[in-house]
Structure 1
Amino acid sequence: MSMNKSQKSKTLKRKITWDLAAQLVEYATATDLKIIDESTNLRICNLLKANKNKAKDLLNVLRKRMLNKRDNVVYLSLVLLQQTIIECPELIDLYSTSAWQDCFITTLLRTNVLIETKKKLLSIIRGMTESFPNDLLFKDTYEQIIQHGIEFPEAAHFDKEISFVTKVSKSKFIDECEQLIGYCQFLNQSFDYLTILELEKAQPIIISLLRKKDLSIDVIQLVKTTHEQIKTTLERHKKLTEKWVHLACTDKKIVENTQFMFESKKLR
């Protein structure tokens, strides 16, 4: 029995949603990302909660990111991994597989992964073993690493941190930021997708936020970082535009010279 139009639409919508979810994982662990994108990480966790049947596929994308050649991608992947356990402890079984344990061991053996990143991974492995003592696979991985003479740092914690920011300040911040978010592309993937005009519009909104006195230190730092990202992207866009104009002028001269040479040849 063939699907009707409504069923096809729903199926397509689910596929698009999970394709975008996979892109979110790649964005949260992007090679050029200089800070931890907590909002994107949380959005990914919410998607995992919303559809547990698809969670395995999404975590497989995360596992592939952990095997990336760049150290910062591996580190951001570990941060996201820890966040998924904090927000979705019911999905811990999805990490209890030979594929994930092989990924952990491989990462520890790689020479292009920095010591600090390996310590982060060891901390998570120890945290998994202590927080979920009944899982034999976590315990086996932990013991294998000890047998190789590797020392573990303090175990990672998977408890939700209590926020001391008042609800009033947070809601005000979110309301003020709605204007800024409106200038970003769908899922707020990157400032690089914004035009020069859109970036210039975003700057006064950021400045007005920084003038507010009821924001927490963390929120102020987040806004300042965002402001720096916008300024950097804006400068890069302007430089690229200048180069494009120069190339366009050069191309025009080449065309004109070619036409002149062609006309001259015809007159001979």
Structure 2
Amino acid sequence: MSSSLDVCCTLKPVESDYAPVGVMEHLGDLPLYVVGPKDAKKAILVIYDIMGLHKNTQQFCDILANHGYKVVMPDFFRGRPWNIKNIGNRKAVMTWLSKVGTFDLVAPQISQVKTWLQGQGVSSAGIVGFCWGGKIGVQIAGVDRFYGAFTVIHPINVDTADAEKAQAPILALPSKDEPDMTEYMAILKKKPFGAKCKHHRFDDMHHGFAAARGNWSDELNRKRATEAIQLTIDFFNQVLNKSNL
């Protein structure tokens, strides 16, 4: 288990005055943050970090949507993200995730979202995952070919076994707090789609810099988060074939 999880457990979310432009919809009892063209043929599913529907992550979604994608961020935690009162308690966060955030619990909900997207005319999609969401995202990469591209940003629990199972290109954007991912990427590079896989390490950024733990009023943090967003957009535009948007 990577040390990034220990860092994750100690960092509080930042406060943001950003006003999200998307809307909240519901798929049964699953809330969805939705933004972007209603008639888009390509979509991006965003899996947030343990801080839930944070304004930074919503802003990330909004920027993706500005490039023609329908962007959907499910609230898997149903308005009850990780309690910041328990910051620093690694055992507590693991216990909590075992109740609300295991792959077996989340994967069926992602499948429901896929069916919902297909019903709206979406023909292909990618996934962006932050922290815990990055781990879930790469696990989906091993089982569902509907999602044709995956971006993982400061992921936890990096495991080469996930790279072995991946069925689509992955863009990896770790921070200084994540383990070295060269072996992980070497495995991906050997796959038929290996040339499309990309890896950019942000050695001057902390875990969470592009999501809930990012202080985007800080010039360097804002610059690096913007770079991560642009790398993600460029990756999806290339892999998901922008001409069909």
Report TM bin, short chain. 0.3 to 0.5
Structure number with greater CO (CA < 8 Å, separation at least 6) is: 2
- The structure with the largest strand share of the pair is 2
- The structure with the largest helix share of the pair is 1
TM-score (norm 2): 0.32
